[in-house]
Amino acid sequence: MVDLNYSSDNPIDNPSHDKFNRYPFAQRVANVIAERNDSSSIVIGIYGAWGEGKTSVFNFIENELKDKPDIVCMNFNPWRFGSEDQMLVNFFNDLAISIDRTIETGRERIGDFIEKYVKPIASIAGRTEAAEGIGSFFSGANIEELKSRIESLLENEKKRVVIFIDDIDRLEKNDIHALFRLVKLTADFKYTAYILAFDKEVVATVLQERYGPSSSLGAGNSFLEKIIQVPLHLPAVDKEDLRTLCFNEINKVIDFVGVGLSEENAREFVNNFSKGIEPQLTTPRQAKLYSNILMFSLPILRNEANIVDLMLIEGVRVFLPEVYSLIKNNKELFLTDGNMIYSSQQKEKEKVRKKEKIEGILARFHPEEKENILDLLCFLFPKLNAIFKNTTYGNDWEETWSEKQRICSPLYFQRYFTYAINKKDISDITINELLERSKDSSIAEIVNEIKEIMNENNAETFISKLRRLSKSLTSEQLKNLALSISKLGNYLPNPVQMFSAWNTYGQGAMFTADCVVNLEDKTERLDLGRNIILTADPLTFAAECFSWFRKNTEEHPNPNAYSEEEYLELAKTLAQRVSEEITKADIGDLGKIERLPYLLTIWHEYGETGEASQTISQNIVKDSDFVFDFLESYTSTAFGEFGSKKSNFSNENYDAVKKIVNPDLIVDTIQRTIENLPFDENYPNSLNVSRKEELARQFLWIHHFVNDKEKDT
C-alpha cells in the first residue's frame, strides 16, 4: 500500500520539485535584482491567483539571492500583526534586525536607533487611522536621519536589502490600505528592493473602494501602477503539466484507499472529468485540494456509493461549487423528470422551469464549457436527458441505478453529501454481511441478526434493498431470508394508509414472494411457499405473503410462478391454519384480527365446507357485541385532509358479509342488542350517534332495500 497522508500544498523551495517551470522565471527576477548597479529602490509586483504558486517563486528567488554577498533578504509578514502601529514598528524592527544580523559594523546599530526614535513616533501615529498614522510617522523630525543612517550603512557596506511581502491579498481591507501606504512612503529608500506577491484583481478591488468609484477597477489599478515599477504575472502553468499533477494525485489516492476501478469505470471517469471538470482546473492548489477531498470521502463511502459518481461529484464540489450547491439543495430537480405530471402542459412547464434554473447557474460559462458541464450532469443524473436531450429513462431504470449505488438513485443521493448512513438508511456493507451469513446460518440466527439491524427508521430501506437484491441470491439465501422475514411480521411497520402494499409490511410480504419466484427448482418453490404459510408470524402476515404469490396464467405467463394446482394446495394450507387459529381465538380478540374478511374468505373458499360460516355464526350467537366488531372489520379506512377514519358500511361490504353469515342472523342480533332503532328512509350517513348504532342502521338500511329489490326481482 502506498504510504500517503493528506496531500500538502505547501510551497516548494527545491528547483528539482518544480513541476511547472517556475524556477527559470524566479532565477531571472533574482538576477535582475542582484545585477543592479543603480542605488535607487525598485518595487516588483508578482501577480497570481490564490494557489498558483507565488510563495514557491518567492522561495526560489530568495534561495538564488541568499548566497549573494551583497544582498540582504528580509521577509515581512504584515498579516501577523493586529494593528497598524504594530505593523509599522515591526517593519522597521525587521529591517534593523536583517541589517544588523548580516552587516558587520562598528558604528551604532540600526536596531538601537529604531528603539530610540521610531517606537515613540509610532506610538503617537498608532492613535490615528492607518494611512494618517503612517503619514504622521514619516513627517516626524527624525525620519530623514533614519533614512540617511540606513542608506549610508548600506552604501558603505555595499549591501542591498530585498524585502519580500507575500499573501497581501489575505489581509483585511484596512491592513491592505496601510501596507501600500507604508510601501509607497518607504520605497524611496536607496539600496532597497521590494517584491510584493498578490492577486492583482483582489487588491485592486480593495484599493478601488478607497480611491475610486466601485463600478470600475480603474482607480485601484492606477494606484498600483504608481507603486509597482515592475509588474510581473506568474507564467501560465502548462495545462498538460497541471493535468498530469491532478491525475497523479488521483491515482495516489485510489492506490492508497485500495479502490478497484474497472477499465470501463476508469474510462467513464476520465471522459466525464476531462470534459466537464478539467477545464476549471487552473492552479496546482486545486489539484491538491481535490486529492485531499477524495482522500477523505473514498474511505468513508467505499462499498457504500458508486466510486465513479463519488469522484465526479467531489470534482464538481471543488471546481464547480455553484453547481454543487444547486445539486445538493435541489434533489427533485435532478432525480425527477416530470413524467408523474399528467397534464402535458404542466409537464412542459416543469421542464422549462428546471431547464432555466440549471442554465441560470451555468450562464457564466462559455457555450462549449456549458455544453460539457451539461453532458456531465446528464451522465450523473440521467433523468436530465428528458430536459436537455429529449431522451427519457423509465422508472424501471431506478432499480439498475440502485444496484450500482448511483447518485441518481433516491436511495443513495443523500450519502454523497452527508458522507454518512443516515438513520433511515442502512449500510450496504451491513446488508452484504447479512447476505453472506444467510448462506449457512439457521433461521433463528438470521432472524436475530435482522432484529439487530432493522428498526422502525430503516425498515423500509432494509426491505427495499433486500427486494432489489433478490434476483442475485442463491437458492439457500432465498429460502433462508424468505423464511426469516416471514417470521418478522410483527416487526415490520404497518401504518394505516391508502395503499398498504407500499408500506414496509406489504413490501416484506412481497419480498417473500420474490424469493419464491426466483427459485429455479419447482419442488423448492412449493416447499418454501408452504413453509412461509405455516410459520409466518403472525397469521395475518402469512395471509399477506400468500396474497403476493404469483400464479402462472395465460394472461400473466411465468414459468417460475405456481400452477393452478400448486396455488390451490397452498390456499388449502392457509385455510387450515386460519381455521385452527380463529377457532381457538377468544371472541373479544376475533374482531381485532387484521384483514379478518380476507382470512374468512380464504377459509370459506378453500377450507372445509361451511366451517367458516358456522364458526362466525356461533360466535355471534354467543356474544351479540361481536356482530359490531365483525361488521366494522369489513369497512375500509377513508383518508382525508384531516386524517383517516373508518368509512360507511357499503353495499360491497354487505355482499361480502352475506357470503360468510346469513344476514337475517345479523339483523336479529342487532335488533335484540339495540332497542328502538329508528327506520331510515334515506341511507343513514354522518349520524351524530355511536359508531355501533351507525353501523347497525347502515346495515339494516342496506338489508331492507336489498330484500325489497330481491322480492321485486
What pLDDT shows up at residue 564? 94
Cα(631)–Cα(627) distance, rounded to whole angstroms?
6
Distance CA 590, CA 599 (A): 11
Is residue 529 within 8 A of residue 523, CB to CB? The reply is no
d(CA 574, CA 121): 101
Phi, psi of 560 (to 5 degrees): -90, 0
Q: What's the pLDDT at 712?
A: 53
Q: What is the mean pLDDT for each group of 10 consecutive residues in the chain (713 residues)? A: 50 73 86 87 87 84 88 84 69 79 61 60 44 48 68 80 89 86 81 90 85 66 88 84 89 88 92 95 89 92 94 96 96 80 77 92 94 96 91 85 93 91 89 95 97 94 92 96 97 68 87 96 96 96 95 88 95 97 90 90 96 96 94 83 77 95 95 90 89 94 77 52
Q: What's the pLDDT at 125?
A: 43
End-to-end CA distance of the chain: 88
Q: Cβ(595)–Cβ(544) under 8 Å? A: yes
The SS3 assignment for 333 reads helix
Query: What is the Cβ-side half-sphere exposure of residue 196, based on CA atoms within 13 angstroms?
Result: 28
If you write DSSP's letter for every residue of 18-71 in order, what string do you get?
-SSS-HHHHHHHHHHHHT----S-EEEEEE--TTSSHHHHHHHHHHHHTT-TTE
H/E stretch holding 637 reads: strand 637-640
Query: How far is 603 from 614, CA to CA, in rounded Å?
Result: 11
- pLDDT at position 573, please? 97
Q: What is the pLDDT of residue 481?
A: 97
Predicted pLDDT at 119: 53
What is the rounded CA–CA span in Å between residue 687 and residue 697? 10
> What phi, psi does 477 have (nearest 5°)?
-65, -40
Contacts of 591 (CB under 8 A, 6+ apart): 626, 628, 629, 630, 632, 633
Q: Which helix (H) or strand (E) holds 220?
A: helix 218-227
Instruction: Say what the alpha-carbon torsion angle 682, 686, 687, 690 is, to the nearest 10 degrees.
Output: 130
Phi and psi at 233, nearest 5°, equal -90, 140
**Alpha-carbon gap, residue 486 to 334, rounded angstroms:** 37
pLDDT at 409: 93
pLDDT at 55: 84
Predicted TM-score (pTM) of this structure: 0.71
What are the C-alpha distances in Å from 245 to residues 240, 265, 438, 703?
Answer: 9, 21, 46, 85
Sheet of 192-198, strands arranged across: 71-75, 160-165, 192-198, 42-47, 230-233
pLDDT of residue 127: 40
DSSP string, 505-565: HHHHHHHHHHHHHH---HHHHHHHHHHHHHH-SSHHHHHHHHHT--B--SSS--TTSBPHH
Q: Distance between CA 140 and CA 528 in Å, rounded?
A: 100
Structure confidence at residue 185 (pLDDT): 75
Element (H, E) at 667: helix 663-673
